[in-house]
Amino acid sequence: MACGLQRGIAGQAADRYDAVKVLLVDANSERAQSVETDLAAAGATLVIRPSPGENLRDSVARVGPDLVIVDMARPDRDSLDDIRHLSRHDPRPVVMFVDRDDPAFMEAAIEAGVSSYNVVGAALPAVKPIVQAAVAMFRRYRQIEAELEKSQASLKERAIIIEAKSLVMRQRNMTEPEAYRWLRRTAMDRNRRIVDIAASVLARSREEK
């Protein structure tokens, strides 16, 4: 049976067992070992650390982790560039632990794509609930982002159809319902979406000008 961490990260059924890969970035080897032990107890089946001199971007490309944990002795703004790139091009949950409270850095880290920002001082808290919360927040954010993109695409497609419908009305001397039915019938005849027909109508009109 998959453990809580596996269900949280992979979203798998309880009776399916899949490896959960965690990339652990921490210059403090002793603390990294402690975090790795907690992760193993929480259900992570594979904890990987960057190769010597390897930056976060290259580590993620090499490992393909389900989760990234970055532990810093002090806030390091340069490291946020890799997290920002990761968030834009290869998004996945990122948990960050820092020793010092820095509100400005916290805001920058969250803006860069950190799912969970934790000021922990010298002693790390229990890792499992933090990871589970970070994964849940990441998945919710991605869902909202996908819904927003879908909504924006829908509005754009609607604008294309309205513009094409107006053009058909002028060119064919049709009423608005007639123009829409023409677009719909043409789409059905060609086995295409109405928005595709609308876009082709507009493109052909621009070419003829």
Percentage of the chain lying above the pLDDT 70 cut:
87
CATH code of the domain covering residue 14: 3.40.50.2300
- The confidence score (pLDDT) of residue 11 equals 47
What is the structure's pLDDT at 179?
A: 93
Q: Are both 18 and 114 inside the same structural domain? A: yes
Residue 17 pLDDT exceeds 70: no
In this structure, the answer to whether residues 95 and 185 fall within a common structural domain is no
Domain-located, residue 197: yes
CA dist 33 and 100 (Å) reads 21
Same domain, 12 and 102: yes
Question: How confident is the model over 173-181, as a mean pLDDT?
Answer: 93
| pLDDT in the model for residue 51 | 87
**Local confidence band at 45 (pLDDT 50, 70, 90 cut-offs):** confident
* Domain annotation covers residue 154: yes
Q: What is the mean pLDDT of residues 22-43?
A: 82
pLDDT at 18 over 70: no
Q: Can you tell me the distance from the alpha carbon of 32 to that of 135, in angstroms, rounded to the nearest whole number?
A: 20
Pick the last residue of a domain from 125, 158, 179: 125
- 173 found inside a domain: yes
Quote the domain boundaries for residue 164. 148-208
pLDDT tens track for 55-110: 888 999 998 998 999 887 666 777 889 999 988 888 999 999 888 888 999 999 99
What global pTM score does this model have? Answer: 0.62
19 Cβ contact list (under 8 Å, min separation 6) = 45, 46
49-53: long-range pairs with CB below 8 Å, 24+: 49/23, 49/24, 49/25, 50/23, 50/25
User: Which of 92, 125, 158 is a domain's end point?
Assistant: 125
Count up the domains in the chain and report the number: 2
Residue that is last in its domain, among 73, 93, 125: 125
Cα–Cα distance for residue pair 155/193, rounded to 1 Å: 15
Q: Are 4 and 132 in contact (CB under 8 A)?
A: yes
Output the pLDDT for position 75.
62
Task: Say what the pLDDT of residue 14 is.
Answer: 35
Which 8-state DSSP code applies to residue 45? Answer: S
Residue 41 lies in a domain: yes
**Are 18 and 86 in the same domain?**
yes
Q: What is the mean pLDDT of residues 110-132?
A: 82
By mean pLDDT, which of 12-26, 146-160, 172-186 is the weakest? 12-26
* CATH number of the domain bearing residue 202: 1.10.10.10
In a domain, 137, yes or no: no
Same domain membership, residue 172 and residue 114? no
- Asked if 136 and 8 touch (Cβ cutoff 8 Å), the reply is yes
